[in-house]
């Protein structure tokens, strides 16, 4: 009989396959496995109960409590939730853990197959270690099969699993719903795929129709706008780019300095443009006026050597 406490890891959400095997071996070595498996029943008693029968029943119940206690201690804290109301029955405790961690459903087998086909040799790992990991994964798959599982069912499940594995990430919700099924038979999976395809197409058409209707309403509202400044359709006065450009140019012109030289040039240009349409008499008067304006004081007989005044408002215009 084993002495001391078990030295293997406690049960968590990931290690049931290895934990259950090690726990079973330890319970066998401790003489408790027949109690946990349910093969050993409580001793019968007569009426009235004899002392020997009472002693045998007391010893049985003590061993029953010991088995239940070890099961409770050898699971992690979060796993003890499965023992509520059954802490005094090691048989029910063992069955509860098996029902949670070894659900013989298609979804559980899919995950087990996925783990099996995802195994890769680790760096510095020996080939013997790789073989052991593959065998352990295969054993987990066998444990998840019901006793009535047939080779034909295996073929259907493998084909269905290949379809599910081929789906991209955008089908994650659909994939989760499939894995909740009790069976992944080919007919059921094919029907689910066709239904999902129809639903996705319908949702895409509804979304496209809504977008087109929204675009049509937006276009209609956009076309009814008319600008009060430029008279164009498609925008209001507050959105008018033409007004903004005109406003900007006006502000720039207002900020530019005006010099006498520019005024003189402007007068010269205006005089030059109008001289072609004036009579010779009018042109002569304009020339005389411009010449007089180039001197600070009136001179009855201007001399050609007289210098021009730089502060004059106008320059002399040639005939």
What is the rounded distance in angstroms from the CA atom of residue 240 to the CA atom of residue 229? 8
In contact, 106 and 141? CB cutoff 8 Å = no
Which residues have a Cβ under 8 Å from the Cβ of 144 and sit 6 or more positions away?
A: 102, 103, 104, 105, 108, 109, 112
What is the rounded distance in angstroms from the CA atom of residue 101 to the CA atom of residue 14? 9
Q: What is the pLDDT of residues 93-104, one digit of tens each?
A: 999 999 898 888
Which residues in the chain show pLDDT less than 70?
Answer: 1-3, 207-224, 257-319
Query: What is the reported pLDDT for 147?
Result: 82
Query: What is the reported pLDDT for 10?
Result: 95
* End-to-end CA gap in the chain: 138
- The whole-model pTM stands at 0.49
Closest CA to 99 of 16, 188, 214, 168: 16
What is the rounded distance in angstroms from the CA atom of residue 40 to the CA atom of residue 51? 21
Q: What is the pLDDT of residues 177-194, one digit of tens each?
A: 888 887 778 888 899 999
In contact, 157 and 181? CB cutoff 8 Å = no
Long-range CB pairs of 262-271, under 8 A, 24+ apart, other chains included: 263/313, 264/312, 264/313, 264/314, 264/315, 267/313, 267/314, 268/314, 268/315, 268/317, 271/317
User: φ and ψ at 6, to 5 degrees?
Assistant: -60, 150
Query: What is the reported pLDDT for 214?
Result: 61
In contact, 150 and 132? CB cutoff 8 Å = no
Query: How many other C-beta atoms can be found within 10 angstroms of the C-beta atom of residue 36?
Result: 23
233 forms beta bridges with: 226
């Amino acid at each position: 009989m084993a002495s001391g406490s078990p030295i293997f890891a406690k049960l968590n959400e990931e290690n049931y396959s290895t934990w259950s095997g090690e726990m079973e071996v330890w319970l066998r070595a401790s003489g408790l496995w027949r109690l946990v498996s349910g093969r050993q029943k409580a001793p019968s008693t007569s009426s009235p109960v004899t002392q020997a029968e009472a002693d045998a029943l007391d010893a049985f119940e003590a061993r029953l409590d010991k088995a239940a206690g070890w099961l409770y201690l050898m699971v992690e804290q979060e796993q003890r939730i499965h023992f509520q109301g059954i802490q005094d029955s090691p048989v029910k405790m063992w069955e509860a853990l098996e029902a949670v961690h070894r659900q013989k459903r298609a979804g559980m087998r899919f995950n087990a197959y996925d783990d099996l086909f995802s195994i890769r040799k680790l760096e510095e790992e020996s080939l013997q270690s790789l073989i052991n990991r593959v065998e352990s994964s295969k054993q987990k798959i066998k444990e998840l099969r019901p006793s009535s599982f047939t080779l034909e069912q295996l073929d259907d499940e493998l084909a269905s699993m290949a379809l599910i594995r081929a789906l991209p990430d955008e089908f994650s919700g659909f994939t989760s719903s499939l894995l909740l099924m009790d069976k992944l038979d080919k007919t059921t999976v094919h029907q689910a795929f066709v239904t999902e395809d129809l639903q996705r197409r319908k949702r895409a058409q509804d979304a496209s129709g809504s977008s087109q209707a929204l675009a049509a309403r937006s276009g209609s509202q956009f076309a009814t706008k008319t600008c009060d400044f430029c008279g164009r359709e498609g925008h209001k006065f507050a959105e008018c780019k033409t007004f903004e450009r005109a406003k900007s140019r006006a502000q720039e012109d207002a900020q530019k300095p005006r010099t006498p030289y520019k005024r003189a040039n402007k007068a010269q240009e205006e005089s030059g443009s109008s001289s072609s349409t004036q009579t010779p008499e009018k042109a002569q008067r304009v020339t005389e006026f411009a010449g007089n304006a180039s001197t600070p004081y009136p001179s009855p007989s201007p001399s050609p050597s007289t210098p021009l005044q730089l502060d004059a408002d106008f320059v002399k215009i040639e005939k």
